[in-house]
Amino acid sequence: MSSLFSYFVNLCLFRVGPQDAPTSESILYATGIVLAISYTVMNTAFESIGERILVATTQVIIFSGVIWLLLKINNLTDRWRQTTIALFGSAAVLELAKMPFMLLGTDTDPELTGVKGPFMLHVLVGFWYLAIMATICKKALETSMGRGVIAAIFCQLSTVFGLLLVLRAIGLVPGPDAM
């Protein structure tokens, strides 16, 4: 287990690539569950633990679907498991790394930013994860870094919009007419 964690840390430090990720289905499920748990803990937008779990699980499922779609468009679905494990694991490591800082307190007004905890930490980790995603997408799609960046942004935006559509459909997020 420590070698797997070490792999994800090295992935976040750009020392290894997604091709080095394990291909085990159980590791895929484990990384998805750990990512959903970390999203649940770090989600401050919802008070209810049930809503947090629902949002985190939905986010992980949509994210995995977007990754599959991206690889399907490029006829590379055989790389889905390793790519998803790499993306889930690196996201979970970054969420776990920022967790102590986020739980300690806030440097901005949560009413103003919508985020509890050090706002700049959210921004920096977000850009770092985008760079990790771009590198993983570049290698998984065997393309240029520019296209890897575009693929990473596509994954992020598609996941966010997909999540918002689902949350709106089930009534957890108000529609534009309610604002």
Q: Are the beta carbons of 136 and 8 closer than 8 angstroms? A: no
Q: Are the beta carbons of 83 and 67 closer than 8 angstroms? A: yes
CA pair distance 175, 169, nearest whole angstrom: 9
Phi, psi of 109, deg, nearest 5 = -75, 115
Q: Are the beta carbons of 76 and 147 closer than 8 angstroms? A: no
Closest CA to 91 of 43, 39, 167, 50: 39
pLDDT at 119: 74
- Write out pLDDT tens, residues 34-90: 999 999 998 878 889 999 999 999 999 999 999 999 999 999 999 999 999 999 999
Look up the pTM and report it.
0.89
pLDDT at 8: 97
